[in-house]
Amino acid sequence: MSNSTPPFAAFEWMIAWRYLRAKRAEGGVSVMTWISLIGITLAVFALIATLSVRAGFRAEFVDTVLGANAHVTVYSTGGLDDAGRLQRGFADYDAVAARLAEVPGVTRAAPLIKGQVMATANGVNMGAEVFGIRAEDLATIPRVGAGAEAIGDLARFDQGIAIGSGLAREMNIGIGDRIRLISPDGVKTAFGTSPRVNAYEVVYIFTAGRYDIDRTRAYLPFAEAQANFNREGRADEIEVLVQNPDAIAGYELPILQAAGSTAMLWTWQDSAGAFLRALDIEDNVMFIILSILVLIAAMNIVSGLIMLVKNKGRDIGILRTMGLTEGSILRMFFICGASTGLLGTALGVGLGCLFALYIDPIFSFVNYVAGGGVWDPSVRGIYNLPAKLQVQDVLSAVGLSLGLSCVVTIFPARRAARMNPVEALRYE
């Protein structure tokens, strides 16, 4: 029989299943089996939930960074004017922007004016960062322009100002209200520079998705910003968007060549790269820590199988005297352990996927139970806890769990297979 029996024959599965569901009074270890099953389930669930939240947080962070900001900002070291004074920025900004737009892979190039102001309305004073931009360029900014989450009329941008929703909320203003901007870089007189104060109608309120942007950023028409910040005939910088932001390094040299000899670049990875590298390191560390949890849960399978082998010593002796080989015995107990790992992994994957898919209502419930304030956007930069379910994360969790479950099962299964049938039946 042993010579003709194929591996994992039907009778091996039958006996393994009988052992798995045997009660303790019958020599089974159903309690240890349940503990192993619950441990594997919770460990896999924690691994998938953590990986999905980390992936979601990274994706949301990158999306908000790229959504409202330039992929590449082109600066200029400037040059001396007729009076010998250093003039920074671009005097030929339209020509430079046109050359940058022709670079392969560049989807947008727009001149900008930047300045810091004090914004005041309804007795509230706040610092704001003002971007001077043309209406057609503002409309193409993701998360800010056309199609973004916003209120107001973008077509009236040249008649007023666009501000972030956080700034509007803090200052208690809405569409049609007026906001005053106080710029220290104002009119130059014989007695020095006096502050410039201008009032603008709020015509557009956007929500970019990042707390710091929505709370501090405002957009002015380009010509108005030039006059407000003493940049007549110049642009401070040119913002560039590209097709593949993740491969930004490949665009740097062509952009530099198109921008001219005085150009300097600042990419989105220069500003956020350190944070993204920290996220990568944290992802790896979290995976290692949670892998240890999966290993600990898998070790319960070893404990259960060792007890099962001890309780089934008489059965092993009888099966061996009937002609079963060591391989059949090994496979029977391997099936017992691997089945527990397989079922626990499947349940853990199901719970983890449900958590990632329904994280918003789950988090809302947790926030409600905790009385609110669980997530502070001023600290984390985004408004809610995101989750992104990725196939590679699920496969990593499944592979790790099944691999560990199968590996740890081999040792007690080999012990059962090498048991001497004479010794097993001596005291029966």
Mean per-residue pLDDT for 184-213? 81
pTM strictly above 0.85: no
Judge whether 233 and 111 are in contact, CB under 8 Å. Answer: no
102 within 8 A of 255, measured Cβ to Cβ: no
* Band (2; pLDDT cuts 50, 70, 90): very low
Mean pLDDT of 155-173: 92
Q: Where are the alpha helices (DSSP H) in 241-312?
A: 249-259, 268-311
| Confidence class for position 313, pLDDT limits 50, 70, 90 | low
Q: What's residue 95's pLDDT? A: 92
3-class SS at 265? Answer: strand
Q: Do you know the residue count of the chain?
A: 428
Q: Which residues contact 100 (CB under 8 A, 6 or more apart)?
A: 74, 106, 109, 238, 240, 255, 258, 259
Question: Is the CA virtual torsion 166, 170, 176, 182 positive or negative?
Answer: negative
Average pLDDT over residues 136-154: 86
Euclidean distance between CA atoms 276 and 232, whole angstroms:
38
Question: Residues with Cβ < 8 Å from 288, sequence gap 6 or more?
Answer: none
pLDDT above 50 for 390: yes
Could you tell me if 340 and 30 are in contact, meaning their C-beta atoms sit under 8 angstroms apart?
Answer: no
pLDDT attached to residue 186: 67
Give the confidence band of 218 by pLDDT, cuts at 50, 70, 90. Answer: very high
Residue 26: pLDDT band with limits 50, 70, 90: very low
- CA 276 vs CA 263, 286, 304, 354, 378: distances in Å: 26, 15, 43, 27, 19
Q: Give the best-scoring range by mean pLDDT among 108-122, 281-295, 362-376.
A: 108-122
The CA-based dihedral angle spanning residues 258, 260, 261, 265, taken in that order and rounded to the nearest 10 degrees: -70
Contact by Cβ (8 Å): 81, 216: no
Residue reference for tokens 């304030």: 373
213 neighbors 378 (Cβ within 8 angstroms): no
Query: Looking at residue 189, what is its pLDDT?
Result: 65
Task: Examine the pLDDT at 428 and tell me if it is beyond 60.
Answer: no
User: When comparing pLDDT for 36 and 171, which is higher?
Assistant: 171
Q: Of 12, 29, 20, which is closest to residue 332 (Cα–Cα)?
A: 12
Q: What is the mean pLDDT of residues 134-143?
A: 89
pLDDT in tens, 317-347: 777 677 677 777 777 778 887 888 888 899 9
The ranges assigned to domains in the chain are 10-63+275-425, 78-261
Decide if pLDDT at 251 tops 70.
yes
Mean pLDDT over each residue of the chain, to the nearest integer: 81
Residue 310 has phi, psi (to 5 degrees) of -65, -40
Report residue 287 as tokens: 């995976």
- d(C-alpha 359, C-alpha 52), whole Å: 10
At 204 the three-state DSSP class reads: strand
Q: What tokens were used for 424? A: 């097993």
Q: What is the pLDDT of residues 277-310, one digit of tens each?
A: 887 888 888 888 888 888 888 887 777 777 777 7
Residue 101, pLDDT score = 92
Measured between alpha carbons, how far is 11 from 13 in angstroms, rounded to an integer? 5
Residue 74 near residue 240, CB atoms below 8 Å: yes
pLDDT value of position 79? 63
Strand pairing category for 161-164 and 192-206: parallel
**pLDDT value at 379 more than 90:** no
**Single-letter amino acid, residue 145:** G
Q: What percentage of the chain exceeds 90 in pLDDT? A: 25
Q: Say how far apart CA 206 and CA 74 lie, in whole Å.
A: 25
User: What pLDDT does residue 27 have?
Assistant: 44
Q: What is the band of 312 on the pLDDT scale with cuts at 50, 70, 90?
A: low
**Phi/psi of residue 193, each to 5°?**
-100, 125
Count helices and strands (H / E) in the chain: 15, 12
| Listed range (58-67, 139-148, 265-274) with the worst mean pLDDT | 58-67
181-185, 188-192, 263-267, 318-322 — which one is most confidently predicted on average? 263-267
Tell me the average pLDDT across 121-140: 91
Distance CA 359, CA 121 (A): 38
Residue 196 burial (C-beta neighbours within 10 Å; 0-12, 13-18, 19+): middle
DSSP class per residue in 321-357 = HTT--HHHHHHHHHHHHHHHHHHHHHHHHHHHHHHHH
Residue 198 to residue 202: CA distance in whole angstroms: 13
Q: What is the mean pLDDT of residues 56-66?
A: 76
Helix (H, G, I), strand (E, B) or coil at 210: strand
